[in-house]
Amino acid sequence: MTTTEEPQDEAPARTVDKAQYIVCAVLVAVGAFLVYDALTLEAGFAKVDPVGPRFFPMAIGIILIVLAVVLAIAIPRGSVGEADAGEDIDPNLPSDWRTVGMLVGLFVAVIVLVEPLGWAITGALLFAGAATILGNRHYIRNIVIGAVLSVASFYAFYSGLGIPLPAGILDGIL
């Protein structure tokens, strides 16, 4: 009597994505910086705070280092993230460097113009410009939404947090 063995399903070969080790290194570097910075903080005005100013940067730094170690252990085991389904994009198309360049130019313009024009105007231009560059063709609506968001964030920072943003040419009006 002869028996035939059926072929066993072979497990797929493990692929080790060594580029993920760069992520581990960045996580460790940022985590170590946060821990070091937290240890060198002075109590200052936060002496009455029961938690103190060191707690959150220290906690975040330690969590980043622990996550880096967990990722470093998972990488050689072949643990990789699920590929993005790509929803409405074609992953085979090349990058749109024109759009990236226009957005970088917009951010540089915001950096240059925020002092003379102020945040309220520059923030509106930032939102409207970014929305337009990314394909929205409702120009007036973009400007109105940008103006509302920038003025709201101006007052949220100034009144709510006590951080003055530059008013620029609207100084005395805002």
Entry pTM: 0.56
pLDDT above 90 as % of the chain: 59
Q: Give me the chain's average pLDDT, please.
A: 86
What is the rounded (10 degree) CA torsion for 34, 59, 157, 50? -120
CA 35 distance to own-chain centroid: 20
Average pLDDT of the residues in 47-73: 87
Answer yes or no: is pLDDT of 12 > 80.
Answer: no
pLDDT at 144 over 90: yes
pLDDT of residue 84: 65
> Contact 142/133 with Cβ under 8 angstroms?
no
What does the pLDDT average to over 37-41?
A: 89
Name the pLDDT band for 16 (thresholds 50, 70, 90): confident
CA distance 113 to 115: 6
pLDDT tops 90 at residue 73: yes
pLDDT range class, residue 116, cuts 50, 70, 90: very high
Element (H, E) at 145: helix 139-155
The reported pLDDT for the residue numbered 117 is 96
The pLDDT assigned to 81 comes to 67
CB contact at 8 A, 83 and 52: no
